Amino acid sequence: MYLSFILKNHDLIASLDPLELDSELKSLPNLNFAKDIKSLNDLLDKAILTASSLDLENLSIAHACLRDIGFLISALRKTGVQPALENNSLEKLLLKLGAVTGTVPRETSYHYGICNPTNHRQRVFTSFPDELGLINGVRVFSKGLEEILVDLLQLKFNLSHKIPSSFDFLNRILIKLGETLKEAGDEMKRINPRIFSYELRPYFDPILIDGIAYVGPGGGQVPLLVIDNILFAFELDDSHIYKVFSNEGVKYLTPELQAVYEKHTNLPSIVSLAKSVKSHGVTDFLINFLNELIRYRQVHYKVAMNALSDKNKGNYETGSAGYRLEMVHQTLLATKEAKRILIE
């Protein structure tokens, strides 16, 4: 299956240091705290020079380069500059890396989380422990959701071909979803909303590359976007806020996830297929699955309201992936509506 490569490749990308920045990036929090623009630019120049001698057609190397250069350009972006506008060699390199990796020409949640090294090699912007919770939450969320997506695609295949799905198979998905949401949620609880808005959020501001503004890593850049759509959201009206967000946000996913999204765009959703097949086991499973998502989204909505409240939001009216609070609310309502359609 076309997801198998990416499911095996995260650890390889995380292990790579093609730009030889492991040592220097340990000092990134100190450079950011000191607003040491000169040292940041020196590291960026070194990265660009090193990249010129690498095999950038190698997908794993390209992802690792995009990750580490992404940390540097986002650090510079926080100082108020648009790094690619001031460095033609950087812009060309970013466009090259984006073309090879098949995603946007800057770092995404994929690089910030699941392809970020762990322990002493982990890349961070700050010394705040809150950031460790953010990175670990994204890492756990992405990995678990990718595994769940693979199983949901199998379920969809089974429904399309009227092949029964065993109780053990369906229960395994529910267990994995519960574990993923709990573990990611526990990590995210470590994040003080004021620390996020004032100390972390500025690193995810949009960066202009070849005239296009690309947002930084954000919660919308995870496989849940694909899961939602193959479950029910592809059948939302084109003007629905989550449909608009999905069609824009899919470009921040990896090509493998983009391929799943594009392949299933005009096909019946899992909820629709379950309605036609009328399998009590699958219907019960989907009700439980949607209930888990609804509980998660109710919590997410409360967290987002708190983060974007006047006392916590800082200079921001949107989440780091560019979505407004209304999108979070409407996605919750759409998930509830999918459940209603399923049981009517």
CB atoms within 10 A of CB 326: 9
pLDDT tens per residue, range 169-202: 999 999 999 999 999 999 988 999 899 989 999 9
34-70: per-residue pLDDT in tens?
A: 999 999 999 999 999 999 999 999 999 999 999 999 9
Which positions ≥6 away from 322 have C-beta within 8 Å?
A: 206, 215, 218, 220
Contacts of 318 by beta carbon, 8 Å cutoff, 6+ apart: 308, 324
Question: What is the signed CA dihedral for 92, 98, 104, 106, rounded to 10 degrees?
Answer: -60
Q: Which is nearest to 344 in space by CA: 294, 292, 296, 274?
A: 274
User: Residue 46's CB: how many other CB atoms inside 10 A?
Assistant: 15
Look at residue 52 and give its three-state secondary structure.
coil
CA distance 277 to 264: 18
Helix, coil or strand: residue 38: helix
- In angstroms, rounded to a whole number, what is the distance separating the alpha carbons of residues 288 and 96? 44
pLDDT confidence of residue 313: 65
Residues in the chain: 344
The average pLDDT across 191-220 equals 93
Using DSSP's 3-state secondary structure scheme, residue 26 falls into coil
d(Cα 163, Cα 277) in Å, to the nearest integer? Answer: 10
Neighbours of 26 (CB within 10 A): 14
pLDDT exceeds cutoff 70 at 310: yes
Averaged pLDDT, 135-142? 94
- What's residue 111's pLDDT? 96
Contact, 200 vs 153, CB < 8 A? Answer: no
Q: What are the beta bridge partners of residue 130?
A: none
The two tokens of residue 270 are 């899992």
Query: What share of the chain has pLDDT > 70, as a percent?
Result: 96
Give the predicted TM-score (pTM) of the model. Answer: 0.92
